[in-house]
Amino acid sequence: MTRLFRYGKYSYQYILLKEDRKTIALTVTPDLEIIVRSSQNATIEKVENFLKRKWVWLEKQLAYFQSVKKNSAGKEYVSGESFYYLGRQYQLIISRGSSTSVKLLRGKITLETNQGLRNGKANKTILNRWFAERAGIIFPERLEEVFPKFGYACPMPSLEIKRMAKRWGSFLGKKKIVLHPGLVHASKDCIDYVIAHELCHFKYKNHTQAFYRLLGEKCPSWSSVKEKLEKKYL
C-alpha cells in the first residue's frame, strides 16, 4: 500500500510492504521510490516512528539519487566525459571511423563512429550496445564463480539480463536469475554480491534472519558492498 508520511515541514509518499519478517527495512530506489518493509503485525505508528529515526539517512539518499539522475540526464556522450565500467572510471574518447566500434585502449574507452563526433544520440546507442555485450560476457562468468560456493544440488540457473526499475537482480524459481545490465558499471564484488543475494533465495524466499545469515556466510562483506553499489555506481 502507498501512504503519506509527514515529518515537520516534510512529506513523503512511501510504499509499505508487509512481509514474513521481524524487522523494519527502508530502501530508496534509483527512481526515488521510498519502500518500507515490515512484519505483518507492525502498526503504522511503529513504521512511521522508524521513518523518523531514519529521517537524516532518508534525506541523504533522496538527495544523492536526485543528483545522480541530474548528472546522468546531463550526459552528452561526447569526448571527455567519463563512464564507469567494472568499477573503474574511464574517459570517453570519440574518433571518426569507417564503421562503429568500442574498445578499451590505454585506460580509455575509445569509440569510433561514422555518425559524426558530436552525435550524442548515436554515440549513446553505440556505447550502451557495447556495455550490454560486455554484461553478456561478464555476468555468466561471475555466476559460474559464485554458484559453486553454495553447494546446491540443483543445476546452475540460467541468466537473463533485463533492465528493471526497482532492483539490481531478481530470482525466478530455481531456474533463472535476472540481472540489471547497469551492473556492468559496478565492480566485480558488487556483481558477485547481487548474484549471491539472488542465490540465497533458492533456500529462503523472504529476507528473514536465516536469509541474511546465509548471505553473510557466502558474502561476508555484503553490507559494505551493497552500500558502495548504491552510492557509487547508480
CA–CA separation, 76 vs 65, rounded Å? 19
Strands 10-19 and 34-39: what pairing?
Answer: parallel
Place of cell 540481472: 179
> Residue 33 has which C-alpha cell?
521510490
Q: Which of 168, 176, 165, 172 is nearest to 143 (CA)?
A: 176
Question: Which residue in the block uniquely carries the three cell numbers 526497482?
Answer: 166
Residue 169 pairs in a beta bridge with 179
- CATH class, domain 82-232, is alpha beta
SS3 of residue 229 by DSSP: helix
Contact between 26 and 34 (Cβ < 8 Å): yes
**Total length of the chain:** 234
pLDDT (0 to 100) of residue 231: 74
Q: Taking the mean position of all CA atoms in its chain, how far away is CA 36?
A: 18
What is the per-residue pLDDT across 38-54, written as a single tens digit (0 to 9) for each? 999 999 999 999 999 98
- Domain coordinates of the chain in residue numbers? 2-73, 82-232
Note the maximum CA span of the chain. 64
What is residue 157's DSSP assignment? P
42 Cβ neighbours under 8 A, 6+ residues apart: 18, 24
pLDDT digits (tens, 9 = 90+) for 96-129: 988 899 999 888 999 999 887 888 889 999 999 9
Q: Specify the pairing of strand 82-85 against strand 88-96.
A: antiparallel
Q: Please state the pTM of the whole predicted model.
A: 0.72
pLDDT single digits (tens) 177-234: 999 999 999 999 999 999 999 999 999 988 888 999 999 999 999 988 988 887 766 5
In the block, cell 569526448 appears at: 79
